[in-house]
Amino acid sequence: MTDIVAHAQSSILFLTDRCNLRCRTCPQMTGNYTVNIDDARDSLRKIQWSESNVLYLTGGEPFLENGLIEEILSAVPNSVEVRVLSNGTLLPSPSVMAHKNLKICISLFGCSSASHDTAVGSQVFTKVMDNLYDLARNKVSIEIRHVITEFNYRDLRVFAEFVFRNLPFVSNVAFMGLEIVENALINVQSIWVRPQEFLPMLFEAIDFLQAVAIPVQVLNLPLCYFDEKYYPVVMDSITGWKKWFLDECSDCALKLRCAGFFRSNCELNLSEVFK
Ligand SMILES: C[S@@+](CC[C@H](N)C(=O)[O-])C[C@H]1O[C@@H](n2cnc3c(N)ncnc32)[C@H](O)[C@@H]1O
Ligand code: SF4
């Protein structure tokens, strides 16, 4: 298994495919693999930190492997920002939490047990909220990651207001397009929502967060879905190997900085995936 991918400005280390949840939306195959620390160190040594100054740690659930994260943090220069993608049900160990250049990117798919727990498929909303307050008390930088699905797209603006009122300490909110593989593919009929359905609500949510000065980004969606005023918050993909473009994209001047589409979604060949 390839466990590290380096890009121009960021690298991704896949720590483990172990997970304590089995989310309905999960695009990740889960199992019992965890990267060996010596292999991880070898991979980290190959990274040009002067160019790639953000390291993502993902899984599975990375906080099942706090000891491994501690070892990895000790092998990474302090100037590198380490972003750990987590389902928010488990906390970092005290020494991981104390790391100076750490951001924890927590999946939060709704502002109530009804919406978050439906997407996740387990009763974890209250635990995630408790952990968010714990992280805030410990002054850890937090990103909220909100994958847009049939379960939550009507309430994107409500979610933005929820973050403002209940989680005003977060560093930023990322709204994310769906990748349809693994569990997400199994559950595609219940989770998929067409972009034309959710975009008006997404614009409102972005406008709201910008008005209250909470930084916001959009991940996994193509630039041409958006008015130019939103371009600064619509990010290019960090998973370039999953990126795909349609024939219509071939002459597009924005292609070089566009996240495009997930290759897996294109291969499904669902016309409703795109419009
Ligand atoms: C597979 S998860 C692994 C990390 C961690 N277990 C978690 O759930 O946040 C990596 C990222 O994918 C996001 N994600 C979950 N389902 C997704 C989907 N179907 N398409 C795109 N991203 C998804 C999560 O919000 C998370 O930020
Ligand atoms: S999305 Fe994350 S928490 Fe949910 S099953 Fe997949 S890896 Fe686990």
Q: How confident is the model at residue 2 (pLDDT cuts 50, 70, 90)?
A: very low
User: What gap in Å lies between CA 167 and CA 186, rounded to an integer?
Assistant: 32
Look at the alpha carbons of 261, 267, 273, 275 in this order and tell me if their dihedral is positive or negative. positive
| 43, 85 contact by CB (below 8 A) | no
- DSSP per residue, 123-174: S-HHHHHHHHHHHHHTT-EEEEEEE--TTTGGGHHHHHHHHHHH-TT-SEEE
The CA–CA distances, whole Å, from 59 to 18, 86, 186, 251 equal: 7, 8, 19, 36
Please give the pLDDT value at position 152: 97
Q: What angle do CA 203, 86, 162 make, to 5 degrees?
A: 40
| Pocket of ligand 2, beta carbon within 6 A | 19, 21-23, 26, 28, 59-61, 87
- 106 in Cβ contact with 128 (< 8 Å): yes
Q: What is the pLDDT of residues 146-171, one digit of tens each?
A: 999 999 999 999 999 999 999 999 99
Nearest to 87 by CA among 184, 18, 160, 31: 18
pLDDT at 275: 47
Output the residue whose Cα is nearest ligand 2's atom 1: 26
Kindly give the number of the ligand 2 atom that is closest to the alpha carbon of 19. Answer: 8
154 or 51, which is more confident? 154
Q: Ligand 2 center to residue 14 CA distance, Å?
A: 13
Pocket test for ligand 2, best of 16, 21, 85, 185 (most atoms within 8 A of CB): 21
Let me know: does 261 contact 233? Beta carbons within 8 Å: no
Q: Is 265 in the pocket of ligand 1 (CB under 6 A)?
A: no
Q: Mutation test of ligand 1: which of 26, 150, 185, 262 has the most ligand atoms closer than 8 Å to its C-beta?
A: 26
CB atoms within 10 A of CB 94: 10
User: Within 10 Å of residue 263's Cβ, how many Cβ atoms?
Assistant: 15
H or E, element range at 81: strand 81-86
Using CA positions, which residue lies closest to atom 7 of ligand 2?
A: 60
Ligand 1 pocket: which of 104, 120, 145, 178 to mutate (most atoms within 8 A of CB): 145
| Ligand 1 atom closest to residue 61's alpha carbon, by position in its atom list | 6
DSSP 196-210: HHHHHHHHHHHHHHH
Q: How confident is the model at residue 184 (pLDDT cuts 50, 70, 90)?
A: very high
Q: Is the pLDDT score of 263 beyond 50?
A: yes
What is the per-residue pLDDT across 227-248, written as a single tens digit (0 to 9) for each?
A: 999 999 999 988 888 889 999 9
Prediction pTM value: 0.95
Q: Which residues contact 214 (CB under 8 A, 6 or more apart)?
A: 160, 163, 164, 168, 170, 172, 173
Residue 251 alpha carbon to ligand 1 centre in Å: 31
Hey, what domains does the chain have and what are their CATH numbers?
A: 4-235 (3.20.20.70)
pLDDT at 8: 57
Helix (H, G, I), strand (E, B) or coil at 5: strand
- Residue 192, classified by CB atoms within 10 Å of its CB into exposed (0-12), middle (13-18) or buried (19+), is buried
Q: Dump pLDDT digits (tens) for 62-104.
A: 999 999 999 999 999 999 999 999 999 999 999 999 999 999 9
Q: What is the pLDDT of residue 136?
A: 98
